[in-house]
Amino acid sequence: MNWFFIALVGPFLWSISCVVDKFLVEKFGRGHHGSGALALYSSLVGIFAAGIIAIFTRNILNIPNLDKLLLILTGMLSITWIILYLFTLEIEEVSATAPWFLLVPIFGYILGNIFLGENLTTNQIMGSFITLIGVFIISIDFAGEKTKIKVKPALYMFIVSLIVAIIGVIFKFVTIEGNFWVSSFWEYVGLGLAGIIIFIFSKKYRNDFFLMNRVGGLKIFIINITSEIITVIGNLFTNFAILLAPITMVYLVESFQPAILLFLTILGTKLFPKIIQEKLHKKVLIPKTIAIIIIILGSIFLFV
């Protein structure tokens, strides 16, 4: 079962990255700064990543122009979901935000069925339904006097998950065997290009970016880079685990991320309240835990 612990490293590191994102939003993204300006830092990372790939990868120009355009589009779409994701973290706890990403495989299955000719199994349909029940529960606000649906974060993360799935389908459609890094280069070019366009044409984000840079520019950049490195290391561990075990089992382990994140946020709230704070009273914690359990059950049907 060594592969299990290797596969577990990915969702654990991704959970840490989510906590870092929440810290950035709480520290630098609220009020007059705006989370949209934080997304510009992610686009800088895209430019940096494209440059590194260009140095070590051959024939990055030797793909059809249509493929280049599609991959650039995926990069530009990436900054859209990043902005919406950061907006969600402004108004929602991170442990209630991350589970929405498990909608991505559902949208991926549907889009794959439509555009790539991939068939949906009975388990995938059932798992999708169960997962939707879980994310619906997690979108309900149990903290107030009246129980109500948290419409804005639910809408944001619904769109985020759909965009991420669209990006995945386009990337899979364009990328051929042995062409992963070439495709990644053009995707990062798109991310960087989108950031440049926003910087030029959005006065608000540009001013917020400069203000944020004066307040804690180097700190923000270092934290962002660290978060990206953590994410990449998690991806590498997951890819290695796929070599050791069936891919469906690795994906199943990934579905434990919301539970890992909930544990980390509870621990962080107790030990490091200046970094992360979550509501821990039973009225909020119990429904959230039930929702995450339902989502994991849905994932079992999705991936097995």
Among 11, 3, 8, residue whose Cα is nearest residue 245: 3
Query: Number of C-alpha atoms within 13 angstroms, CB side, residue 199?
Result: 15
- Give the pLDDT confidence score for residue 193 in this predicted structure: 94
Q: For residue 205, how many other CB atoms are within 10 A of its CB? A: 22
Amino acid, res. 46: G
Amino acid, res. 69: L
Owner of token pair 């561990």: 237
Q: Which residues pair with 148 in a beta bridge?
A: 141
Q: What are phi and psi of 39, to 5 degrees?
A: -65, -25
Do the Cβ atoms of 5 and 13 come closer than 8 Å?
no
- Give the pLDDT confidence score for residue 12 in this predicted structure: 92
User: What are the pLDDT tens digits along the chain (304 aa)?
Assistant: 577 888 889 889 989 988 888 888 887 765 544 677 778 877 887 888 889 889 988 888 888 899 999 999 999 998 999 889 988 988 888 888 888 888 888 888 888 778 767 677 888 888 888 988 988 888 887 766 667 788 898 999 999 999 988 888 888 788 765 577 888 899 889 999 999 999 999 888 888 888 777 777 677 778 877 887 888 788 778 867 876 776 667 777 888 888 888 888 888 888 888 888 887 778 888 888 898 899 888 888 877 6
Do the Cβ atoms of 187 and 101 come closer than 8 Å?
no
